[in-house]
Amino acid sequence: MLIDIHAHLFTPRMLKRHEFWGPFMKTKGLTVGHFSLGTTQPSKAKDDDEAEANLLARMTHAARRKLMAERGVDKLVLSTPSHAFMYWAGEFGTEYARICNDELSAFCAEDPDHFDFWAHTNLARPADAVKEIERAVTQLGAKGLCVGGANFDGLEAHSEELFPVWEKLQQLDVPIMVHGFNQSIYWGEKHTDDKFETTSIVGDCFDETLFFWNLINGGALDAFPQLKTYITHAGGMAVFQLGRLHDLNRVMAPDSRNQRPLMDYLPNFYFDLDIHTPGLRRGVVEVVGVDNLVYGTNFGGAYDHGDPTEGLGLSNADREKIRSGNAIKLLKLDVKAPVAV
């Protein structure tokens, strides 16, 4: 069985919800405010309407199931695309979170055998976020909360203003999914200074590492010891620099509030193998262990490197933990057997 828990979705009603923030799909790419997602590829559309239609054609149930069948995926857990997190958009950020959750829930309800979803909330407004988490999980069926890695309009994972959010997630016993996003969206018209899409291509991994570092240093896992977090892209850089983070947490981070050695918190974290070489994947398996690994590939995104659990010397039982078993336990998925796509 194969469950991919890192997949994004736009529905028609998730686009063009604000005259400035959008989000819009245009010939120049996904556009949020002043920001447009850059690409060197020529547009496949003659105008913005066709660009939007092309995007949404890939987001239908039928299109998703077709690609799932080609890749052997039995279930996807969907989330709001990170470029549209809207932490920077004021009151609209709260409104857009409700829109996303309503849309993701409705999409999944049409085919619950194949689709579940991560909730979205406006972490820039923690009180609003707590209310929306409660609604999304208890009324709409969300399996956890997808967040950006850093800078929720000035708040970060260590900020005590966010502790009620972490408390609510622990209370509901649902995990966090961490996915970095283009910090240049905050820059307004100066977003073009990010010439090489650095705040996404490099920045996503930095943001994800920063979430790991800040959540531990800020004492959140001492206050909420049952809180679980899944970090995409193999944890950003956290796993690869784990020894450094552990050793220097005490001697060079005097304001850290964690009560235990950094490595002791590792069981609270889950990671995927979404890195592009088998050698690095084997290293992640060795450091993290199979019980805290899940399957996430940015399904249908910018690249496809096949099944990341292949060629690692794993037993069939260990592969199945990563491919489905751990996700079923972590997200409490109602999956009894593979379903036909």
Q: List, for residues 242-287, the tens digit of each pLDDT value.
A: 999 999 998 999 899 999 999 999 999 999 999 989 999 999 999 9
How many domains, in total, are found in the chain?
Answer: 1
This prediction's pTM: 0.94
Residue 33 in any domain: the answer is yes
Tokens coding 59: 């987001």
CA angle 127, 129, 132 (to 5 degrees): 115
Predicted confidence at residue 201, as pLDDT, reads 86
Residue 70 in any domain: the answer is yes
Write out pLDDT tens, residues 99-143. Answer: 999 999 999 999 999 999 999 999 999 999 999 999 999 999 999
Residue 115 in any domain: the answer is yes
**CA 42 to chain CA mean position, Å:** 28
Predicted confidence at residue 306, as pLDDT, reads 85
Residue 187 in any domain: the answer is yes
Q: Which residues contact 200 (CB under 8 A, 6 or more apart)?
A: 37, 180, 181, 182, 184
Tokens coding 304: 């496809």
Residue 336 in any domain: the answer is no
Q: What is the mean pLDDT of residues 133-157?
A: 96
Give the H or E element holding residue 8. Answer: strand 3-8
**How long, in residues, is the chain?**
341
Lowest mean pLDDT among 4-13, 244-253, 331-340: 331-340
Predicted confidence at residue 340, as pLDDT, reads 46
Residue 341 in any domain: the answer is no
Q: What is the mean pLDDT of residues 153-171?
A: 97
Q: For the chain, percent helix, then strand, then coil, each to nearest 5?
A: 45, 10, 40
**Residue 121 lies in domain:** 3-331
Question: What CATH code is carried by the domain that includes residue 221?
Answer: 3.20.20.140
Residue 337 in any domain: the answer is no
Other Cβ atoms closer than 10 A to 233: 24
Describe the crossing of helices 163-172 and 126-138 by its angle, rounded to 10 degrees: 10
Residue 27 in any domain: the answer is yes
